[in-house]
Amino acid sequence: MIVIMQPGADLAQTESVIQRVRDAGLSVHRSEGVMRTIIGVIGDDSTKEQLRSMLEAMDGVERVVKVLQPFKLVSREYLQENTVVDVGNARFGGPEVVMIAGPCSVESRDQTLTVARAVKAAGATVLRGGAFKPRTSPYSFQGLEEEGLRILADARAETGLPVVTEAMDSRSLELVLRYCNMVQIGARNMQNYTLLREAGRAGAPVLLKRGPSATLEEFLLAAEYVASEGNGKIVLCERGLRAFDGYTRFTLDISAVPVLKKLTHLPVIVDPSHAAGKRDYVAPLARAAVAAGADGLIVEVHNEPEKALSDGPQQLREAEFGELMRKVATIATAIGRTVPAVSRV
């Protein structure tokens, strides 16, 4: 249930609504919009129902609305305006299409810095790179862990690009928060509810990837776990569903983009790299994602993909990434959006 305050409601009126809700044993999520304050009321349904008419009668309250979707705080019913998530200079959910790029894994200082410089020069505004890698086989490269995070922090210091990297559990989350700007919760952990809650409590921006067999409702309920802990800085990422056709690694669900944009106020980005699994298909999927309304892309780039310790076949070479950026910028312009750094060159 949400309480929509009148545009002119004063602080005391808002505070007394919040107090009334808390006194009834329910919890409150407050959002300050451009025009008005919105108060999300979370908790037992029958208590909410009893409280509803009392809240409606309070000074400064415009109306009280029931949120029908199972996901509440992340739904469009709760907030009509798009949420903008700031990560360094990048703004997810605004008019610009945000480009995240970098290697699948941080393998060495040299490799990471080389790729970071190249993606920055091509116009990316956020650097990616895995230090904790969720690998299908326990015998595959598992990441450089804290040493990898130090390398990412050095790449940020040199290029000025904010960094997103994956945390797989509480221990890695704590480390990631120490070194990076945004924490990624990967597809395999989308339903790790303990980790989602911890990321919510941590308060840093979260990049949440859709599980390969998750419905959109399950995906949004995973985001709700983060939001319910008081952290609304969530960027959703579609990265492909379990496929039955071996020509791609996963099937990119392009329809997830407009559907999510309708259901939620959160920014939605697309990962064409993990969906494609092969370099040749990354740029066409990236173009399709932007045309469908994605707020950004996350793309894997490597200086020597043939020597990569993970996901070599899908990582673009630096020049290929530059080409992708130019094509994506053209599509963005065609639909009234921009890719900031590219439009400056």
Q: Which residues bind Mn ion (CB under 5 A)?
A: 104, 311
Binding at 156: pick from Mn ion, ligand PEP, none (beta carbon under 5-8 Å per type):
none
Q: With respect to Mn ion, which residue has the nearer C-beta, 39 or 144?
A: 144
Is there a contact between 235 and 85 (Cβ–Cβ < 8 Å)? yes
Query: Whose CB is nearest to Mn ion?
Result: 104
**In 3D, which of 232, 307, 229, 297 has the Cα closest to residue 264?**
232
Please report whether residue 186 would count as binding ligand PEP according to CB under 6 A.
Answer: yes
Give the integer Cα–Cα distance in Å for 338 and 175.
34
Q: How far is the CB of 207 from ligand PEP (least distance, A)?
A: 9
Please report whether residue 130 would count as binding ligand PEP according to CB under 6 A.
Answer: yes
Residues 244-273 that bind ligand PEP (CB under 6 A): 271
Binding mask 324-343 for ligand PEP (x = CB under 6 A): --------------------
**In 3D, which of 276, 273, 272, 270 has the Cα closest to residue 295?**
270
> Terminus-to-terminus CA distance in the chain, angstroms?
47
- At residue 245's C-alpha, the angle toward residues 239 and 250, to 5°, is 10
Q: How far is the CB of 258 from Mn ion (least distance, A)?
A: 26
Residues 214-233 that bind ligand PEP (CB under 6 A): none
Within a 10 A sphere around the Cβ of 52, how many other Cβ atoms? Answer: 16
Q: How far is the CB of 308 from Mn ion (least distance, A)?
A: 9
Choosing from 48, 233, 274, 302, the residue that interacts with ligand PEP (CB under 6 A) is 274
Please report whether residue 187 would count as binding ligand PEP according to CB under 6 A.
Answer: yes
Give the integer Cα–Cα distance in Å for 268 and 185.
14
247's CB contacts (< 8 A; 6+ apart) are none
- Residue located via tokens 């409702």: 217
H helix count then E strand count, the chain: 12, 16
- Residue located via tokens 């056709």: 245
- Residues in binding contact with ligand PEP, number by CB under 6 A: 11
Please report whether residue 287 would count as binding ligand PEP according to CB under 6 A.
Answer: no
Please report whether residue 205 would count as binding ligand PEP according to CB under 6 A.
Answer: no
Residues 335/299/227/31 CA torsion (nearest 10 deg): -40
Q: How far is the CB of 212 from ligand PEP (least distance, A)?
A: 8
Phi first, then psi: give them for residue 19, nearest 5 degrees.
-65, -40
Binding mask 17-56 for ligand PEP (x = CB under 6 A): ----------------------------------------
Choosing from 5, 21, 104, 182, the residue that interacts with ligand PEP (CB under 6 A) is 104
Binding at 295: pick from Mn ion, ligand PEP, none (beta carbon under 5-8 Å per type):
none
Give the integer Cα–Cα distance in Å for 218 and 216.
5
Binding at 252: pick from Mn ion, ligand PEP, none (beta carbon under 5-8 Å per type):
none
Please report whether residue 209 would count as binding ligand PEP according to CB under 6 A.
Answer: yes
User: Of 17-25, 144-152, 182-190, 279-287, which part binds ligand PEP (CB under 6 A)?
Assistant: 182-190
Whole-Å CA distances, 34 to 37, 81, 82, 195: 8, 9, 11, 32
Query: Whose CB is nearest to ligand PEP?
Result: 186
Please report whether residue 134 would count as binding ligand PEP according to CB under 6 A.
Answer: yes
Give the integer Cα–Cα distance in Å for 244 and 225.
30
Q: How far is the CB of 320 from Mn ion (least distance, A)?
A: 16
Bridge partners (DSSP) listed for residue 42? 27
Is there a contact between 135 and 310 (Cβ–Cβ < 8 Å)? yes
Binding positions for ligand PEP, rule: CB under 6 A: 104, 130, 134, 166, 186-188, 209, 239, 271, 274
